[in-house]
Structure 1
Amino acid sequence: MKKLIISAISLAVLTSPVYAAGGDKPHRKGAKTQGQIGSILVNPYKNAPLTAIIDLAGNKITDVSVVVQGKGKNGIDIKYDVEQSSINTHNGIPVAGLYPNFNNTVDVTYTKDGKKIAETYRIMTSGMLTVTTDGFVRNWPEITPKKVAKGFEERMYYYTADIKTAFSGEVSWAKGGALTWDFDPGFKWIADTQGEMRWYLNPAHFDGREFVKYRGTLQMYQVDSGDWIWMKGQSYGMMDFMGRMLWERPMPRGFADGSHEILLAENDHIFLRVGKRNYKRDDGQIVNTVRDHIIEVDALSGDVTKVWDMGAILDPNREEAILSQNPAAVCMEIDLSKEGEKQEIEPDAPFGDHAGIGIGRNWAHINSIDYDPSDDSIIISSRQQSAVAKITRDDQVKWILSSPEGWEGKLREKVLIPVNAKGKPIECKYNRCEDNFDYTWAQHAAFLTGKGTLTVFDNGDGRGMEQAALKSMNYSRAVEYKINEEKGTVEQVWEFGKELGYDYFSTVVSLVEYQKDKNTNLIHFGARHLFEQKDVSHPTLMEVSANDSKEIKVEMEMQHVAPGLISYRARVIDFDTAL
């Protein structure tokens, strides 16, 4: 697959290893090599410890394939063909998918001087680089496979697991904003269906304790080219799968506190969820806003081509959904001591990163962006408003998927009407609807499926505009909707999770994303068991058939490192595209 144009950012922003005087000398006199080409460099770019390069040493090779052999009787092999451009870029054979602290067996085939050559290399890796802090019971989250159906054995899953340290929240902007929402880079890794780690990020590059540009929380996702796109607070950039930093930039001047979502869209532009610095409110006060702006950036130049100010597009004073939510858990801002308390909003509360109404407070909490190329619009998920909305490039709201309470004027006209499979309106009373229809509550991850529908992870906090009478009544679900934009209607066509009940309740974070190759929905219950303070949380990933059978094909359970911690997202990963 061709690499995207943004991998060719100008040299002014490229970063790459610099070798000592005299150049890289992997083949000094007496050095031992295993095969016919060159020696091996493990973790060549210092960011991905489970990668290596088999150096070319001046040789010319083509038609390269790699197999990283699985460990033990049931180990999972990782197989991929290497593009010639990757050989050229790394001046060698890129190897990824190694096990940590293990003498890995790697089979390589290639053509050299017209002859097909097959070789086996042994590549030793070091133990895992990690961070520990007070309360940890293990130094890395563990993954336990609960079920892996036939045909899913070779799946690779990317996980994030988030931690706060003593340094989190120690710095703030003078005018509010969300700089206090500051986390260690946390754990970013790939595991196979045996639960074994096969790739992980060395977090040292993104440590924000010494540099304000890295203050925030690290989001990092694989794009279609196989590279990683990332954002951490005041910076964003791209890194390839081998850990080579392609480019990075500071947040555009006038914006700050990027988190939750960074998206490389079909138009080769990057969408970032940010806050606005020095925003002038209608009352004349100057504040930094909190999680309520979307910016579109030209990937090559870094120019900001569009700004969506949600405070001007939606209603920052709608309080109904916020008042119904649990103050103990607002996304990754977890304070379990507040469990059972009622959310309170003070109209004149200080500006900053706390639940409230009015620009300058956490009134929107936008946690996902999707881009619809069919009409050049964006779809956003606003957790605090328990609403998903589609918004055009000229700032017009096309529709709002939300319970109708509190929406007024022209926005009220955009709230979708629930219908059944026959297109007949469904009656809803006191936030309870017929035909098993429900809205989403404090939701995450509103994504188009590519088959004419929209999936959303319905966290379920504040379901029905109230806290459940008993916490055991709470549940989360993945839900799929079909929206008729011309008629302004919404039909619920699929759901999963309600039947699992409170055991899988995830009041914050989490994700659902359609997987076309398997016709499944990947569902990540990222805060499962968060409130069970006697133990660590158990974020759980599932792949579930996207048809009426709802068969669970894969279930992988995480054991986090300490109580009260969560896992923001998990996704399917493609090694072959990346290399």
Structure 2
Amino acid sequence: MKKTLICTSLATVLLLGAIATVNAAGLPAAPPSGELGAIVINPYKNSPLTAVVNLHNKEISDVTVTVHGKGKNGVPISYPVGPQTLLRHDGVPIFGLYANHRNNITLNFNLDGKKITEEHQIVTGGIESKYLDHRNHYAIPAVNVTKVDRKFADRLYLVNSNSSTAHGSDLNWVGPKPPPKSTADILAAQKAMGAIPFDAAPLNIIVDTEGEIRWWLNQDATYEGHDIDLNKRGIMMGINETQDGMFTFVQGQRYGFFDLMGRIDDYRLPRGYADATHAMWPMENGNFLVRASKQNYYNQWEDTYVHTVRDHILEVDARGNLLDVWDLNKILDPYRESLLVGLDMGAVCLNIDADAAGMTIGAAELDAPYGDIPGVGPGRNWAHVNSISHDPSDDSIILSLRHQGNVKIGRDKDVKWIIAPREGWNNELAKKLLTPVDSKGKKIKCNDKGKCEGDFDFTYTQHTTWLSPKGTITSLDNGDGRWNDQPVMPTDKWTRFVEYKVDEENMTVEQLWEYGKERGWEWYSPVTSNAEYRADRDTMFGFGGSIDMFDPSTPTIGRINEIDYKTKEVMVEIDVMTLKPLDGHYRSVIVTPKTLFGK
């Protein structure tokens, strides 16, 4: 058994170099690490809590890595490393290191028919947030663990967040403004432009069940907030695992892929399209669905050219070629206003204005200036698609439209069904509305705004309406504008995880499961967030990304939960704080190293 200490300090490098061989240039060569090559920390310069053990031209197999937990209760991270992963990195990936710590690592592998075990130590430095200002409460996210059932102790959660920055003013050209006193003031404060001001520094971490940060993505890997570079602006969103162990992302004018070691490949959006935000979905055929907008779109209803907002779905292949487009302005009704007039203008996704909290706009104001504001018609934020899911059984897409409802659309661009209240749909689309029923198939009576007499409720301003492994539909029902209105008291709002069963033959929908209504205001997330069924442990996993978002005195809470599907007992509850008040997290993803590195 061999032991090696690897340290990032310059003194250690020079000391080791003094006793090592020299390369052709006469410089010290990196010393070997046991039977293999040197250990390189942060090999792609983007993930400082990772390392790679170079293969040193050796062929190894049956590889496993264990990063031991810190202290008595630390969480060990152990995973196999498959042959494709070894080839990808020309070495053994080490994932899950602690920052500012002497990490203990165990490697097991076969070499020349022998089983080898090696113990190594890797010393890491700190992690740094590069976008701090006077509003910061924390330099790195604070994590508070409320409950973790012992069966879930090995869980790892990637939190996709962001940090607002004063640098956005070089895009917006907007200075301080007085608090709005009316809806007219809200509209006056908006600019007639697209979604370019939708911009914040990315903040992506992985936390373990002890509340320790075990991975950090360098913010400048995809973002440039100190200079005007539109290709590296936006908000990093749409993180989903791909078939080959990477993750998708969208950010402004680009979309791409990254892995946990920090390798990043990205593409410019196809010509004619812009502003990729919220959603990117890997399809079973190896292609990807990206939510974007259209440049220079002819608005036939108002006889003008506009830049649309969050209303196009693109299918692209792995080389960035555009294969198909869903133009929702033609497929749905961009002038349906029923929910828009009930929205809280204080928070429309991550466009947050605490001074406008609780205010709404009237129907007469929905055709106000073009731009990234709630309104009707192409060129305004009438749809706000925030999630995409693909149903391979009939090659259809399932969309969450925050400002309209949940919709399934075929490859032929025909609407298959809609889950939403009846109010406001035109005659043709009204035929696609699903009828709520109970467990016995009996119709549940609901009014046009969606308030129902039985055990059923529609979603309002929802996120992540996804097809589950069971064939059901899961969604994070944020609950703003519930029943197309605002309550008298804001504390009467609630958020929930919900699951539906759709019968496409009979055009009915049954509510199978819900959680969160009983938690009330303290669990309410007005924007962002996600929910999904996890078959591996029979839980509903979700993330409330904007709890307490309107409190200017404290950072916003991002609450990770796993709820036992059968008993509805809370198995995991972990709070991750934003760095500043009035910021919001986006989503969370469960990370399983054995599936990511085992290929």
* TM-score, length-scaled by structure 1: 0.92
Secondary structure of the 2:423 match is coil
1:10 aligns to what? none
Q: CA deviation at 1:34?
A: 4.3
1:180 aligns with 2:197: yes
2:389 aligns to what? 370
1:158 aligns to what? 158
Q: CA deviation at 1:261?
A: 0.3
Q: Is the 8 A contact 2:366 2:374 kept in 1?
A: no
Q: Is the 8 A contact 1:168 1:184 kept in 2?
A: no
Instruction: Return closer, same or farther for 1:525/1:99 CA change in 2, 3 Å cut-off.
Output: same
Equivalent of residue 297 in structure 2, options 279, 289, 294: 279
Q: 1:308-323 maps to which residues of 2 (within 5 A)?
A: 308-323=326-341
* Inter-partner Cα distance in structure 1 for 2:559 and 2:80: 31
Q: Is the 8 A contact 1:292 1:364 kept in 2?
A: yes
Instruction: Return closer, same or farther for 1:295/1:26 CA change in 2, 3 Å cut-off.
Output: farther
Instruction: Return closer, same or farther for 1:25/1:293 CA change in 2, 3 Å cut-off.
Output: farther
| Equivalent position amino acid for 1:339 in 2 | A
Q: CA deviation at 1:172?
A: 6.7
2:99 aligns to what? 100
1:112 aligns with 2:111: yes
Secondary structure of the 1:222 match is coil
1:18 aligns to what? none
| Equivalent position amino acid for 1:248 in 2 | D
1:195 aligns to what? 211
* Inter-partner Cα distance in structure 1 for 2:527 and 2:563: 21
Q: Is the 8 A contact 2:23 2:29 kept in 1?
A: no
Q: Is the 8 A contact 1:64 1:109 kept in 2?
A: yes
1:7 aligns to what? none
1:140 aligns to what? 140
1:554 aligns to what? 572
Equivalent of residue 217 in structure 1, options 235, 240, 245: 235
| Equivalent position amino acid for 1:357 in 2 | V
Q: Is the 8 A contact 1:208 1:216 kept in 2?
A: no
Equivalent of residue 514 in structure 2, options 495, 518, 529: 495
1:387-426: per-residue Cα shift (whole Å, max 9, x none)? 0000011110011100110011110111111111111111
Secondary structure of the 1:268 match is coil
Q: CA deviation at 1:223?
A: 2.1
Instruction: Return closer, same or farther for 1:508/1:91 CA change in 2, 3 Å cut-off.
Output: same
1:444 aligns to what? 463
* Inter-partner Cα distance in structure 1 for 2:362 and 2:198: 20
Q: Is the 8 A contact 2:531 2:540 kept in 1?
A: yes
1:454-475: per-residue Cα shift (whole Å, max 9, x none)? 0111101011111011111111
RMSD: 2.0
* Inter-partner Cα distance in structure 2 for 1:82 and 1:296: 32
* Inter-partner Cα distance in structure 2 for 1:331 and 1:24: 54
1:379 aligns with 2:398: yes
1:5 aligns to what? none
1:57-88: per-residue Cα shift (whole Å, max 9, x none)? 33332221110000000111110111122223
1:122 aligns to what? 121
Q: Is the 8 A contact 1:153 1:193 kept in 2?
A: yes
Q: Give the share of equivalent positions with the same residue, in percent.
A: 40
Q: CA deviation at 1:298?
A: 1.5
Equivalent of residue 433 in structure 2, options 415, 421, 425: 415
Instruction: Return closer, same or farther for 1:27/1:368 CA change in 2, 3 Å cut-off.
Output: farther
2:582 aligns to what? 564
Secondary structure of the 2:207 match is strand
Secondary structure of the 1:415 match is coil
Instruction: Return closer, same or farther for 1:347/1:516 CA change in 2, 3 Å cut-off.
Output: closer
Q: Is the 8 A contact 1:227 1:241 kept in 2?
A: yes
Q: Is the 8 A contact 2:279 2:388 kept in 1?
A: yes
* Inter-partner Cα distance in structure 2 for 1:296 and 1:236: 12
* Inter-partner Cα distance in structure 2 for 1:357 and 1:30: 64
Instruction: Return closer, same or farther for 1:148/1:24 CA change in 2, 3 Å cut-off.
Output: farther
Q: CA deviation at 1:156?
A: 0.6
1:482 aligns to what? 501
Q: CA deviation at 1:201?
A: 0.4
1:214-272: per-residue Cα shift (whole Å, max 9, x none)? 22111233323221222111111222221122x32110001000000011111211100
Q: CA deviation at 1:125?
A: 1.1
Q: Is the 8 A contact 1:311 1:359 kept in 2?
A: yes
Name stretches of at least 5 consecutive residues in structure 2 with no aligned partner.
Answer: 1-21, 174-190
2:17 aligns to what? none
Q: CA deviation at 1:452?
A: 2.4
Secondary structure of the 1:37 match is coil
* Inter-partner Cα distance in structure 1 for 2:41 and 2:88: 16
Secondary structure of the 1:218 match is coil
1:504 aligns with 2:507: no
1:59 aligns to what? 58
| Equivalent position amino acid for 2:221 in 1 | H
Secondary structure of the 1:111 match is strand
Equivalent of residue 337 in structure 1, options 355, 374, 379: 355
2:376 aligns to what? 357
Q: CA deviation at 1:518?
A: 0.5
Secondary structure of the 1:578 match is helix
Larger mean CA deviation between 532-541 and 481-490 belongs to 532-541
Larger mean CA deviation between 168-177 and 286-295 belongs to 168-177
Q: CA deviation at 1:93?
A: 1.4
Q: CA deviation at 1:27?
A: 11
* Inter-partner Cα distance in structure 2 for 1:28 and 1:543: 52
1:470 aligns with 2:470: no
Secondary structure of the 1:363 match is coil
Instruction: Return closer, same or farther for 1:31/1:453 CA change in 2, 3 Å cut-off.
Output: closer
